[in-house]
Structure 1
Amino acid sequence: MNETIVRIAARGDGVTASGRHIQFAVPGDLLLDDGTIRQGPGHQVPPCRHFPECGGCQLQHLTDAAYSDYCISRVEGALAQHGLETEIRAPHLSPPRTRRRATLRALTAGGRVLIGFNQAGSNKIVDMMECHILHPRLFALLAPLRRLLPSILLPKRTAEVQLALADQGPDVLLKGVTVSGLEAVEALTAFSEGQSLARLAIDEGFGSEPRFEPQPVTVTLGGVPVALPVGAFLQATEDGEAALVAAVREAIAGAERIADLFAGLGTFAFSLEGHVTAAEASRDAVLAIKTVTGRAGKTIQAEHRDLYRRPLDSKELTAFDAVVLDPPRAGAVEQVRELANSAAPRIAYVSCNPATFARDAEILASGGYRLRWVRPVGQFRWSTHVELAAAFSR
């Protein structure tokens, strides 16, 4: 009996109403009796030659409309599992070739250097010859890296290549390599200068060490250049960051006393009005915020605090008109429990994991908060990774 594909599962497979999972199927497709797919209007021709082998993308076969529907369904499905529903706004999708942060793998094999994402579900590296998600300035580094790496890669060992775009240009961290001898050192300098890098750092197993940094590396957040520590977290795309910031500002508009929890380098803190208390576990990030707060004309108090071990308690939270929450993928159960018992009028919750967000949202709802709306954000275009911003109020 023919079956219609009704949704896409969390890992990217199409699913029928009876629960059959079909790889690369899209809602609206028809699964025929012989096991073949009659494609519906949600399909497009994948633009990249490496799809579907490369693990960087799982959903290049979806049109933008179908991908937007997927982002919405991921959030709706996660909320439904916890008995919640609310307004799901139209997703923001980052355009192709705008990713400013990525971690690739590198390995010498067959006398040449392979650089790219791992193959889906495998440790095999897909040697990247084109990419429709990376920013062109980052993709342009791959060919020069293939020339540089043979002298510093360890035999039969995979290295990690972390790429980011700073205000001054590309920021590169190479992990799992060995730089030995004058020739290798000179090659690093020549590569850095030739590619106009903002910074090149090396981690030989003892922590990262900048080897080339002609001027202090910064990233502009809320119009403020903030020091960018090696390997620090950045939102994946500038436009995605802007969409999240706009959602947070809307969710807490008018608040004068704001707690920014899991603040990072100040992605949200520097974009907010009023007095902001920014709590963050990374000492480097806290120092970066403190260094520029005064001269940026911002009223931000940065506090070094591990919010998993020592969340702000309900009494401390009474000092704030609004709370911004942007935890890692695991969510923030400990902090959310304190929020649920607090009198904080509004919460803006930014999440990179709809499942843990929904779990935390249920805790807040049980404490008397109303989930007003959610906006999905697809910074990791064509992947199953969906981010979101949400508004809660008492």
Structure 2
Amino acid sequence: MVEIVRLAAKGDGVAADGRHVALTAPGDHVAADGAITPGPHHATPPCRHFPDCGGCQLQHVDDATYADFVTARVVGALTGQGITASRVLPPHISPPGARRRAALRASRQGRRVVIGFAEAGSHALVDLGMCSVLDPRLFALIAPLRALMLTILPDKRAAHVKMSMTDQGVDLLLEGVRVAGLAADEGLTEFARSHGLARLTIDEGDGPQTRWEPEAVTASFGGVAVPFPPYSFLQATPDGEAALVGAAADAMPATGAIADLFCGLGTFALALGQGRTVYAAEAAREPVLALKSAAARGGRRLGADHRDLFRRPLTPQELDRFAAVLIDPPRAGAKEQVMQIAASAVPVVVYVSCNPSSFARDAAHLIAGGYALDSVKPVGQFRWSTHVEMVGVFRR
């Protein structure tokens, strides 16, 4: 028998002889015939859909092992670039039932509607009868949605079900459905009313159309309510957002203007910008307009700029006026903007990332430009998954 000594990046256990064994935890033993003897870190999965459902990969490990995995994903990516952070802070792990946004799929075969996540490595859907990660208010809509889909989803077709928790409640976007006739139309209104939706939006293929919105839907950041376009980006969990914002706030200088690049709806710009001037840049038009109007109503000194930072990154001359720069790019990273930051004199750079690999690559450019990686904070918002986020603080 061989012992599992660690977890690989995709969640497989790695044995002492280098073999990868699925669904094992450190301390498990694997016999020559593949039989697994659970060790002290092997846990009983809380969800009956595990491991078929692709939403989770690590429900079979205990909490301590999962926290170690989140940290190892960050440290391992940095090591691969020859980087060592001065400090690796304790990881933050979101609790079960905290996920406030989800993109599910719905499929209809005759009178049966399946709603759920896809199986790992497959397009087949797992029909969710329970979910250990979703906010219960989101999960509570799945059963009633099956009945609704019988009236608006054509047979042998699939649709997207996108849900977010907002200030007013659940924001629901249904894509790929067809609303034909008065009965179906009235059924949508009744569904939204009876389930207390904040908003119901339908996209039949020609763009989203709001069917129900009793009051303007918003998401609040730093005490400012921002208009929320249907299924706009939110951090996956409220506590995860707080952990990311807290790590960024701890790094901010006491005074001076700051920049928030790839700002979205203003998660960081509004939370960090109380009492100071903030420049916020984002390529997507709707979030910029929403942030600009919210900041004006909230009396914030915030300039929101509709700017594609891949095509037109801020130059060193533009960056040098800031006491700190926060950057929160997409998964692929932001090499073009990072190279400009590396050539600047900005004293503090806070890099929020959802991809350890692209973070490490960009970190190498910042370090080559004269920055030191002062600290890194791993964050596991997507509990029991291999998806890891982090906050890195760079100083000149």
Q: Which letter maps to 1:315?
A: Q
C-alpha displacement of 1:110: 5.1
What is the match of residue 136 of structure 1?
136
What is the match of residue 386 of structure 2?
384
What is the match of residue 50 of structure 2?
51
What is the match of residue 258 of structure 2?
258
C-alpha displacement of 1:253: 3.4
- How many percent of aligned residue pairs carry the same amino acid? 56
Question: Is residue 2:220 matched to residue 1:220?
Answer: yes
Q: Which letter maps to 2:25?
A: V
Aligned partner (choices 329, 333, 336) of residue 334 of structure 1? 336
Question: Is residue 2:88 matched to residue 1:85?
Answer: no
Map 1:312-351; keep pairs closer than 5 Å: 312-351=314-353
Question: Is residue 2:234 matched to residue 1:239?
Answer: no
Map 1:1-394; keep pairs closer than 5 Å: 2-86=1-85, 87-109=87-109, 111-273=111-273, 274-394=276-396
Determine the C-alpha separation between the residues in 1 that align with 2:82 and 2:74.
12
C-alpha displacement of 1:255: 4.1
The DSSP-based 3-state class of the residue aligned with 2:297 is: coil
Determine the C-alpha separation between the residues in 1 that align with 2:110 and 2:12.
34
Determine the C-alpha separation between the residues in 1 that align with 2:74 and 2:29.
24
The answer to whether the 8 A contact 1:56-1:383 is kept is: yes
Determine the C-alpha separation between the residues in 2 that align with 1:6 and 1:372.
29
Q: Which letter maps to 1:348?
A: V
The DSSP-based 3-state class of the residue aligned with 2:291 is: helix
* Aligned residues between the structures: 393
Between 1:35-44 and 1:184-193, the stretch displaced more is: 35-44
Deviations 1:270-289 (A, max 9, x none): 11142110000111111111
The answer to whether the 8 A contact 2:111-2:150 is kept is: no
C-alpha displacement of 1:200: 0.5
Q: Which letter maps to 2:64?
A: A
Q: Which letter maps to 2:176?
A: G
C-alpha displacement of 1:264: 0.3
The answer to whether the 8 A contact 1:236-1:380 is kept is: yes
C-alpha displacement of 1:44: 1.0
Determine the C-alpha separation between the residues in 2 that align with 1:143 and 1:332.
40
Determine the C-alpha separation between the residues in 1 that align with 2:32 and 2:125.
36
Determine the C-alpha separation between the residues in 1 that align with 2:84 and 2:30.
30
C-alpha displacement of 1:15: 1.1
Q: Which letter maps to 1:92?
A: H
C-alpha displacement of 1:36: 2.2
Q: Which letter maps to 2:52?
A: E
Determine the C-alpha separation between the residues in 2 that align with 1:21 and 1:335.
37
Q: Which letter maps to 2:58?
A: L
In structure 1, stretches of 5+ residues that fail to align are none
Q: Which letter maps to 1:12?
A: G
Determine the C-alpha separation between the residues in 2 that align with 1:35 and 1:150.
44
Q: Which letter maps to 1:301?
A: G
The answer to whether the 8 A contact 2:89-2:375 is kept is: yes
The DSSP-based 3-state class of the residue aligned with 2:387 is: coil
C-alpha displacement of 1:105: 0.5
Determine the C-alpha separation between the residues in 2 that align with 1:187 and 1:389.
45
Compute the TM-score of the two structures, normalised by the length of structure 1: 0.98
Q: Which letter maps to 1:176?
A: G
Determine the C-alpha separation between the residues in 2 that align with 1:132 and 1:183.
35
Q: Which letter maps to 1:31?
A: V
Determine the C-alpha separation between the residues in 2 that align with 1:45 and 1:390.
33
The answer to whether the 8 A contact 2:110-2:156 is kept is: no
The answer to whether the 8 A contact 1:251-1:390 is kept is: no
Q: CA RMSD in A?
A: 1.1
Determine the C-alpha separation between the residues in 1 that align with 2:282 and 2:372.
26
Q: Which letter maps to 2:146?
A: R
Determine the C-alpha separation between the residues in 2 that align with 1:255 and 1:38.
57
Compute the TM-score of the two structures, normalised by the length of structure 2: 0.97
The answer to whether the 8 A contact 1:255-1:322 is kept is: no
Q: Which runs of 4+ in 1 moved over 4 A?
A: none
Deviations 1:216-260 (A, max 9, x none): 000111111110011210000001000000011112232411010
C-alpha displacement of 1:315: 1.2
Determine the C-alpha separation between the residues in 2 that align with 1:358 and 1:366.
12
The DSSP-based 3-state class of the residue aligned with 1:268 is: helix
The DSSP-based 3-state class of the residue aligned with 1:294 is: helix
Determine the C-alpha separation between the residues in 1 that align with 2:254 and 2:16.
45
Q: Which letter maps to 1:203?
A: D
In structure 2, stretches of 5+ residues that fail to align are none
The DSSP-based 3-state class of the residue aligned with 2:172 is: strand
